[in-house]
């Protein structure tokens, strides 16, 4: 499990607390701020980037990547912000750790495009991988935060439509209960420098639109999970979404799903996003890579 490196996570958390709150910004300002990640964390020069076929997004390929398997990665950002620009560095790091190319779609965002736009776009990207000749049992779907919830929703939608399911899912700090009923939203709010219940309410309302926010394809915590593929769930011990992962892991195991939950002490929301500055972030990505290699062997 994670090595405790005094100072690293504390410095990152302290820096995050100096940034303007998303609640004080418009959606456009939030998106612009998040996408500045590409300046701080540029794509490594040995990662090949090419457009996705048929929809906005990128295909990121590390050197010597296997051609018989792939990752579909769904970025976080509350279903309202985030893009290839904010997440290509982390997606590329995961692809390198797994030795696979990564499809990173720019799925449509709320409030302009509420549910089910994101699920439809994620399913389209999954279908494109299947149509490319890669077998379902050689594909892993993963995502962080809202992308973690979207990962589960995509697998549920694929199951409901009779599509072959992927080899596994990887959920990183997943947002699974947009109704916001987890106790950690309150109990850990002083320790989480990145996510607030107010922000989650804002983005959740925008994404759900006129639909029931507990719809299983919006909040997968309320879904019938039977038949889903194996899951790796990584969550930080200091994030307000901790209870989403704890409750979901229990529900998945209760439904007969192979689910492995890792709670990383002291880590904050989507800490591997900071892997270039955080030892525990690099360790978590290496663990994800090992898991994906095992499930696509």
Q: Known catalytic residues?
A: 145, 239, 269
Tokens of 174: 């997943």
Q: Name the strands in the sheet holding 231-236, side by side, starting at the edge strand that comes first in the sequence.
A: 48-51, 57-61, 100-105, 66-74, 139-144, 168-172, 231-236, 259-264
Backbone φ/ψ region at 42: left (φ over 0), alpha (ψ -120 to 50), beta: beta
Assess contact for 212 and 288: CB atoms under 8 A.
no
C-alpha torsion 141→143→146→151, nearest 10: 10
Q: Which of 84, 148, 157 is nearest to 117 (CA)?
A: 157
With vertex at residue 242, the alpha carbon angle to CA 284 and CA 293, rounded to the nearest 5 degrees, is: 30
E strands, the chain, are: 48-51, 57-61, 66-74, 100-105, 139-144, 168-172, 231-236, 259-264
End-to-end CA distance of the chain: 23
């Amino acid at each position: 499990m994670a090595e405790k490196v005094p100072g690293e996570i504390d410095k990152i958390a302290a820096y995050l607390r100096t940034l303007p709150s998303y609640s004080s910004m418009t959606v456009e300002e939030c998106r612009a701020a998040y996408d500045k990640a590409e300046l701080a964390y540029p794509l490594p020069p040995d990662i090949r980037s090419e457009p996705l076929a048929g929809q906005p997004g990128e295909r990121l390929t590390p050197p010597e990547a296997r051609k018989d398997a792939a990752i579909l990665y769904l970025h976080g950002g509350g279903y309202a912000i985030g893009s290839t620009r904010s997440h290509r560095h982390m997606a590329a790091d995961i692809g390198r750790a797994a030795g696979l190319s990564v499809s990173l779609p720019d799925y449509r965002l709320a409030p302009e495009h509420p549910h089910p736009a994101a699920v439809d776009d994620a399913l389209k990207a999954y279908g494109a991988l299947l149509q490319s000749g890669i077998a379902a049992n050689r594909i892993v779907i993963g995502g962080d935060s809202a992308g973690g919830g979207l990962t589960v929703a995509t697998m549920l939608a694929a199951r409901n439509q009779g599509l072959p399911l992927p080899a596994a899912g990887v959920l990183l700090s997943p947002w699974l209960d947009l109704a916001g009923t987890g106790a950690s939203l309150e109990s850990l709010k002083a320790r989480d420098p990145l996510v607030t219940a107010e922000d989650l309410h804002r983005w959740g309302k925008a994404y759900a639109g006129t639909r029931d926010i507990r719809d299983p394809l919006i909040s997968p915590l309320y879904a019938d999970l039977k038949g889903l593929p194996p899951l790796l769930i990584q969550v930080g011990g200091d994030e307000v979404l901790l209870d989403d992962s704890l409750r979901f892991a229990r529900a998945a195991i209760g439904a007969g799903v192979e689910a492995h939950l890792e709670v990383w002490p002291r880590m904050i929301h989507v800490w591997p996003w900071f892997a270039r500055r955080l030892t525990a972030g690099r360790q978590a990505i290496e663990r994800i890579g090992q898991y994906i290699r095992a499930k696509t062997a």
